[in-house]
Amino acid sequence: MPTNDSNQSSSDTEIDQQKEEFISLVAHEFRAPLTAIKGYLSMILEGDAGNISDKARGFIADALAVNERLVRLVNNMLNVSRIEKGKLVFQMEKVNLSRIASVALDNFRAEADRKGLKFSLEIPSRIDDLIYIDVDKINEVVANLVSNAVKYTENGFVKIKVSNPSEGVIRLEVNDSGPGISQEEQRLLFRKFYRVESTAGKTVGSGLGLYICKLLVEKFSGKIGVESDLDKGSTFWFELTTVKKEES
């Protein structure tokens, strides 16, 4: 005869499943209109609707940045469910991680400039950075890390750095001069739905971005982590194994 504990466990599992299905449904419904909004705003920004003032151009750029954050949120919600169920499809190919970092620099340049942040990319002249990976997924990881850094940093800098800490290993770091993160919170950061307290005492974000970063990096047999002190900024990083050039 089932115990109360087993009944409760079954009920909790059913509720969690319904919650996941609802989140997936809502995310799917949001994706199409968000893509359309991005397309129309981009067309206006490019002059397809005629000349616009610099002030209007700034408003549209801000709207595009907000739209991009919503797109990442929707993708995060969809990807969590797919990864956890083992249904996420990977399209593997060889790519240089430095190129991924350069794309992130371009994508977040406007947002960093609007906040007056010094935004830079550091890559040594000689580097072993060829990896075998799903380009869209690693782009998502880097975008999540850079987006967080820009979002939480009000003054100072955000720097992306690519390096080889050891032979056959490539490391990407996102370093910022933000408020920093306590040791206690660092232990919780990569948990599902955990949200860091902002300097204003309010929680921001979905609590899915870093969780997904961890799932994806580990899917690629890599490591991910954070180094931070309160009032001294943070460095989020991940490491992956490189591919030998002769294998490419």
What's the chain's length in residues? 248
User: Which CATH number applies to 92-247: 3.40.50.920, 3.30.70.1710, 3.30.565.10, 3.40.50.10310?
Assistant: 3.30.565.10
From the list 235, 125, 138, 244, the residue with the least C-alpha distance to 189 is 235
**pLDDT reported for residue 196:** 74
The pLDDT of residue 217 is: 97
CATH top-level class for 4-84? mainly alpha
16-25 LR contacts (CB < 8 Å, sep 24+): 20/81, 23/77, 23/81, 24/77, 24/78, 24/81
Q: Which helix (H) or strand (E) holds 14?
A: helix 4-45
pLDDT of residue 118: 98
| pTM, full prediction | 0.76
**3 state DSSP class of 62:** helix
Query: In a structure prediction context, what are the per-residue pLDDT tens digits for the chain, which is 248 residues long?
Result: 555 555 556 666 677 677 667 766 777 788 788 888 888 898 988 888 888 888 888 888 888 888 887 887 777 777 777 787 787 889 999 999 999 999 999 999 988 998 999 999 999 999 999 999 999 999 999 999 999 999 999 999 999 999 999 999 999 999 999 999 999 999 999 998 888 765 445 445 678 889 999 999 999 999 999 999 998 999 999 999 999 876 54
At residue 142, the pLDDT reads 97
- Alpha-carbon 5 to chain mean position: 38
Q: How many angstroms separate the CA atoms of 36 and 30, rounded? A: 10
Q: What pLDDT was estimated at residue 50?
A: 84
Among residues 62, 74, 63, 23, the alpha carbon closest in space to that of 209 is found at 74
Instruction: Considering the chain, tell me which residue range(s) the CATH 1.10.287 domain(s) occupy.
Output: 4-84
CATH 3.30.565.10 intervals, the chain: 92-247
Give the per-residue pLDDT at 203: 46
Q: Which DSSP helix (H) or strand (E) runs through 151?
A: helix 135-152
How many alpha carbons fall within 13 Å on the CB side of residue 191?
A: 9
| pLDDT value of position 3 | 58
